[in-house]
């Protein structure tokens, strides 16, 4: 959430941000509602000040004067209650509009209409050249009894799967290698909850826009599609010391996405599934654009280096304004090469938010001058499973049908190949 003072003082900039991000929000109406909000709140503050002033006089006043003071206090109290009732619908509309006001993208973010305008900024690795007919991950993993989609559908339904045998062992190997790899980069490890209160999804910006893609419990909570949500809630309503920053977390959790709107896409295999597991990097730092930009590049590079250590070819995209989420200042997507499809597929993203999220979570720190400031937040995918298995098995398949295991995974997997 942007600061309303910032919006008022930079209305044209915020309007341009909304236009670039293709977000419809009535900022002129917000200004009108905010004027009403401020007027009613100022009137309430003046009445409460008068209430306090008269209240201080009551204990020492004579009986006759006290009776008059109490009568005045009764009138003021009634007036304040009327103001509070008047404020309720104003605040409801104010908050509804504020939730849709987008963050301002960094000046370096490329302009664009949508995902087709995202800019390729990096390509790494040599794509494998096969002298045989390459197989896709479904055929490879099924042949090696690494996955069972038929029984997965029987148990879960659409997009269900069981990872079996070497499929399960390879996932565990990736988790353990990722744990070792990323913890060398000064993160604190966390196993995060996946059932999180609804309010925290508004905090991260996943609500209201992603409502159709979230699983909801009968208690009104939601299942997270990323531990970003629970980790941002971790320090909600807290005041941190500047000396404690940056806060650096490596969080692991099961994740859930309904994949609403994707029912006709990737209906087979492990690209889009309802239930998966993910390591997530998250940083809270002081309110400095320079530090946010620095940590953003660091988090992104961590993921790059992890993928490079596996030897999987990838490319990186900078997300254009028309595809940039409302909460993001800047974002990269990393995509792995999938040989059978002859294309790259997304494996993760890295984004930063300035204080957009922390204002909603009320996460602050005490600056050197003693003032309280909202921290900046950043997050990036470390690695998700089982999606990474798609590129791993396809890129490392051999002519004899076996699957070569990347060298860095062998100590965790226990052998050099599958099959």
Instruction: Assess whether the previous peptide bond of 246 is cis (omega < 30° from 0).
Output: yes
Q: Which one of 230, 292, 349, 391 is the catalytic residue?
A: 349
Q: Which one of 346, 366, 373, 410 is the catalytic residue?
A: 346
Question: Has 349 been annotated as catalytic?
Answer: yes
In the numeric block, the tokens 């390879």 are attached to: 170
Helix, strand or coil, per DSSP, at residue 5: helix
Q: Which one of 37, 159, 248, 257 is the catalytic residue?
A: 257
315, 255 in Cβ contact below 8 A?
no
Question: Has 257 been annotated as catalytic?
Answer: yes
- Transcribe 131-194 into DSSP letters: SS----HHHHHHHTTSEEHHHHHHHH-TT--EE-THHHHHHHHHHHHHHHHHHTTSPEEEE--S
Question: Has 387 been annotated as catalytic?
Answer: yes
Q: Which one of 159, 248, 258, 387 is the catalytic residue?
A: 387
* Secondary structure letter of residue 112 according to DSSP: -
Helix (H) or strand (E) holding 334: strand 330-338
Question: Has 346 been annotated as catalytic?
Answer: yes
Question: Has 364 been annotated as catalytic?
Answer: no
In 10 A of CB 191, how many CB atoms? Answer: 10
Beta-sheet strand order (sheet of 330-338): 119-124, 314-318, 330-338, 343-352, 376-385, 275-285, 247-256, 188-191
* Angle between helical axes of 11-20 and 27-57 (0-180°, round to 10): 130
Q: Which one of 179, 197, 272, 315 is the catalytic residue?
A: 272
Residues marked active site are found at 257, 272, 346, 349, 387
């Amino acid at each position: 959430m942007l600061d309303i003072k910032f919006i008022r003082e930079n209305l044209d900039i915020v309007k341009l941000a909304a236009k670039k991000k293709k977000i419809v929000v009535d900022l002129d109406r917000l200004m009108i509602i905010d004027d009403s909000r401020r007027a009613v709140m100022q009137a309430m503050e003046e009445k409460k000040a008068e209430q306090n002033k008269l209240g201080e006089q009551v204990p020492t006043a004579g009986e006759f004067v006290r009776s008059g003071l109490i009568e005045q206090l009764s009138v003021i109290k009634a007036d304040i209650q009327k103001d509070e009732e008047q404020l309720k619908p104003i605040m409801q509309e104010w908050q509804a509009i504020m939730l849709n006001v987008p963050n301002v993208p960094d000046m370096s973010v490329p302009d664009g209409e949508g995902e087709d305008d995202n800019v390729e900024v990096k390509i790494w690795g040599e794509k494998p050249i096969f002298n045989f007919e390459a197989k896709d991950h479904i055929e490879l993993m099924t042949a090696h009894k690494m996955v069972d989609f038929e029984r997965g559908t029987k148990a879960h339904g659409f997009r269900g799967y069981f990872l079996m045998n070497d499929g399960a062992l390879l996932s565990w190997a990736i988790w353990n290698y990722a744990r070792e790899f990323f913890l060398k980069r000064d993160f604190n490890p966390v196993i995060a909850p996946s059932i999180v209160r609804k309010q925290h999804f508004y905090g991260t910006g996943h609500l209201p826009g992603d409502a159709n893609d979230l699983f909801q419990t009968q208690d009104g909570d939601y299942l997270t599609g990323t531990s970003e949500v629970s980790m941002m809630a971790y320090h909600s309503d807290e005041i941190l010391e500047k000396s404690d920053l940056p806060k650096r977390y490596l969080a692991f959790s099961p994740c859930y996405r309904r994949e609403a709107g994707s029912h006709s896409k990737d209906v087979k295999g492990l690209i889009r599934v309802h239930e998966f597991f993910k390591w997530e990097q998250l940083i809270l730092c002081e309110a400095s654009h320079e530090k946010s930009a620095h940590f953003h590049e660091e988090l992104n590079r961590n993921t790059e280096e992890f993928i490079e250590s596996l030897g999987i070819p990838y490319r990186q995209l900078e997300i254009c304004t028309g595809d940039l989420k409302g909460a993001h200042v800047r974002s990269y997507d990393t995509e792995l090469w999938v040989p059978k499809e002859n294309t790259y597929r997304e494996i993760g993203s890295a984004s930063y938010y300035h204080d957009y999220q922390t204002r909603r979570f009320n996460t602050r720190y005490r600056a050197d001058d003693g003032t309280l400031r909202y921290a900046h937040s950043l997050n990036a995918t470390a690695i998700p499973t089982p999606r990474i298995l798609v590129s791993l098995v396809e890129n490392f398949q051999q002519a004899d049908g076996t699957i070569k295991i990347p060298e860095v995974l062998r100590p965790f997997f226990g052998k050099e190949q599958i099959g």
